[in-house]
Amino acid sequence: MELTQAQLDQFDCDGFLRFERLFTADEVGLLKAEIARTSSANSDAIIRERTGSIRTVYRSHEPDGPTFSPAFHRLVSTPRFLRPAQQVLRDDELYVFHCKSNIKTAIDGTVWMWHQDYGYWQHDGVPRDTMATFLVKSQICCNSGSSIA
């Protein structure tokens, strides 16, 4: 996927881009199934709510981890995912440093406060703040129970 000059200009102006339905419902379904599968690992790569429900699954793209998912491993290198970030940051050598899935469980899930992670990434060896966040959002409608990707 290559961004147009208009999209690059929009990013430079707004600081973000939004793509509706960049991934199919089947692709999002596969990622959700992989989160469910990998979240049973007994690992510090799994963060739980006080109630025991899953809050975050880390390292799904890393082949050597307990939460490894072939689907997430493929996702982080697909041109639909990686190429736009390389373009907006003007860096063809850009790579995925960190992969995590945040799950907001209905009723008992705690709030996600707005924050900036770069302060933490500095301690993980990231030398500069030239980063992008790529969010794949999926939710379940409360009224109908149908999936929205």
88 assigned to some structural domain: yes
60 assigned to some structural domain: yes
Res 101: pLDDT: 86
Res 147: pLDDT: 36
Q: What is the pTM of this model?
A: 0.75
34 assigned to some structural domain: yes
Res 52: pLDDT: 82
Res 109: pLDDT: 67
Res 26: pLDDT: 92
Res 123: pLDDT: 66
- Number of domain units in the chain: 1
4 assigned to some structural domain: no
Res 69: pLDDT: 94
> Which 3-state string (H, E, C) describes the chain?
CCCCHHHHHHHHHHCCCCCCCCCCHHHHHHHHHHHHHHCCCCCCCEEECCCCCEEEEECCCCCCCCCCCHHHHHHCCCHHHHHHHHHHCCCCCCCCCCCEEECCCCCCCCCCCCCCCHHHHHHHCCCCCCCCCCCCCCEECCCCCCEEC
111 assigned to some structural domain: no
Res 148: pLDDT: 35
10 assigned to some structural domain: no
Residue 45 near residue 55 (C-beta atoms within 8 A): no
pLDDT tens for the chain, 149 residues: list them: 899 999 999 999 998 899 888 888 899 899 999 998 998 888 988 988 888 888 889 889 999 989 999 999 998 888 888 899 899 989 888 878 778 888 877 666 677 666 666 666 766 677 777 777 777 776 544 333 333 33
17 assigned to some structural domain: no
Structural domain containing residue 130 = 24-104+116-148
51 assigned to some structural domain: yes
